[in-house]
């Protein structure tokens, strides 16, 4: 067999383009689409579209087809004159904002900025640029940022429901919308068998998982907590899941300081196609649940009894 084609690699300057346009990349270095089936030419940054080998290796026919689709998507936006954003964006509570600026540092889209000086310094959101990942909300220590959807109150209510009965036999699993939740869904539609001990709470991104959510689940008596998201460097919100990794590592250290078994908190990365991996992870955590004693549950409850401002 004679091979008449050579391997394709991303352009050397694609990293600079990624930085300027705040795009996501796949593990092989090509730009990542918003959804491979529903939005194959869109990116997570609204108004930026992909065509040809910028997205992945492809032949001329597929490149032309994708270019036509990208032009059509761009034309739809331009014909509207103004755009509507999804109700996923962040909002700032000025009364609670201290102007620390931590939220600005973790936003992968540069959608947050600081306005004013001194005590009057407050965070502001550019709604058109915000993708709703929730990384800023989870970073804020003063509850000054609220997401319009997947609000803190909604997530706390789901934790309450998940732990209302037999909490010591449950795993509370936080799953990102694009990969880990889709992987769990794939496991379900494929009829893959796994223990019914897991209770899944969906978030737009794993970076939306506030450490307070994990603490609250342990305070409610959950046997274990699973935080899951897209693989590192495959995040649909560019690099937001690196914040997830940083926060979970801090939580592991915190659990050890409080005398709580750190094995009760797990972090795992999935793709939408890894339904079997999700099922295997739940089976692994069933063994963790079985090993958690009533005394260990009591340690977690006591450790976070006074931590969550009345919760």
pLDDT digits (tens, 9 = 90+) for 24-64: 888 888 998 888 888 899 987 888 999 999 999 988 999 99
Domain identity same for 164 and 278: yes
pLDDT digits (tens, 9 = 90+) for 184-217: 999 999 999 999 999 999 999 999 999 999 999 9
**CATH classification of the domain holding 221:** 3.40.50
Range among 73-77, 117-121, 131-135, 171-175 with highest mean pLDDT value: 171-175
Residue 23: predicted pLDDT: 87
3-state DSSP call for residue 89?
coil
Write out the two tokens for 41: 């030419």
Residue 119 lies in a domain: yes
Domain identity same for 267 and 154: yes
Residue 310 lies in a domain: no
Domain identity same for 157 and 297: yes
- Final residue in a domain of this structure, among 124, 148, 172: 148
Write out the two tokens for 83: 């755009």
Rounded to a whole number of angstroms, the CA Rg of the chain reads 21
- β-pair type (122-125, 112-115): antiparallel
Residue 221: predicted pLDDT: 96
Residue 180 lies in a domain: yes
Write out the two tokens for 15: 């990293």
**CATH classification of the domain holding 89:** 3.30.70.20
Q: How confident is the model at residue 137 (pLDDT cuts 50, 70, 90)?
A: very high
Domain identity same for 270 and 135: no
Residue 66 lies in a domain: yes
* Buried-state track 56-66, b at ≥16 Cβ within 10 A, e below 16: bebeeeeeeeb
Tally of domains within the chain: 3
3-state DSSP call for residue 118?
helix
Residue 8 lies in a domain: no
- The lowest-confidence range among 3-12, 108-117, 135-144, 259-268 is 3-12
Q: How confident is the model at residue 83 (pLDDT cuts 50, 70, 90)?
A: confident
Q: How far apart are CA 236 and CA 302, in angstroms?
A: 37
* Residue 121: burial class (beta carbons within 10 Å; 0-12, 13-18, 19+): middle
- Final residue in a domain of this structure, among 31, 56, 80: 80
Domain identity same for 161 and 276: yes
Residue 7 lies in a domain: no
Q: Average pLDDT of 290-298?
A: 96
Domain identity same for 299 and 154: yes
- Final residue in a domain of this structure, among 110, 132, 148: 148
* CB atoms closer than 10 angstroms to residue 235: 28
Domain that holds residue 246: 150-303
Residue 307: predicted pLDDT: 56
């Amino acid at each position: 067999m004679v091979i008449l084609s050579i391997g394709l690699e991303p352009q050397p300057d694609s990293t600079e383009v990624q930085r300027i346009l705040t795009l996501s990349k796949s593990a092989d270095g090509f730009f990542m689409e918003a959804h491979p089936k529903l939005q194959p030419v869109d990116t997570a940054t609204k108004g930026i579209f992909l065509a040809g080998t910028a997205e992945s290796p492809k032949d001329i026919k597929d490149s032309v087809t994708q270019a036509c689709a990208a032009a059509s998507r761009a034309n739809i936006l331009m014909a509207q004159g103004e755009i509507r954003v999804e109700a996923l964006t962040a909002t700032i509570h000025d009364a609670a904002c201290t102007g620390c600026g931590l939220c600005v540092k973790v936003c992968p889209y540069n959608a947050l900025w600081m306005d004013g000086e001194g005590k009057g310094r407050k965070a502001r959101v550019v709604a058109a640029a915000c993708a709703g990942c929730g990384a800023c909300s989870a970073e804020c220590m003063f509850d000054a940022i609220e997401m319009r959807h997947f609000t803190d109150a909604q997530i706390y209510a789901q934790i309450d429901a998940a732990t209302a009965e037999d909490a010591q036999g449950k795993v509370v699993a936080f799953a990102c919308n694009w990969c880990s939740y889709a992987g769990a869904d794939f496991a379900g539609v494929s009829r893959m068998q796994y223990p019914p001990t897991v209770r899944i709470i969906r978030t737009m991104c794993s970076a939306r998982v506030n450490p307070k959510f994990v603490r609250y689940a342990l305070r409610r008596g959950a046997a274990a907590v699973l935080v899951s998201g897209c693989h590192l460097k495959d995040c649909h919100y560019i690099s937001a899941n690196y914040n997830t990794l940083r926060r979970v590592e801090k939580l592991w250290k915190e659990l050890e300081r409080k005398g709580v078994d750190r094995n009760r908190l797990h972090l795992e990365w999935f793709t939408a196609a890894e339904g079997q991996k999700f099922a295997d992870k739940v089976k692994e955590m069933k063994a963790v649940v079985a090993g958690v004693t009533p005394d260990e549950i009591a340690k977690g409850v006591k450790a976070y009894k006074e931590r969550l401002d009345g919760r």
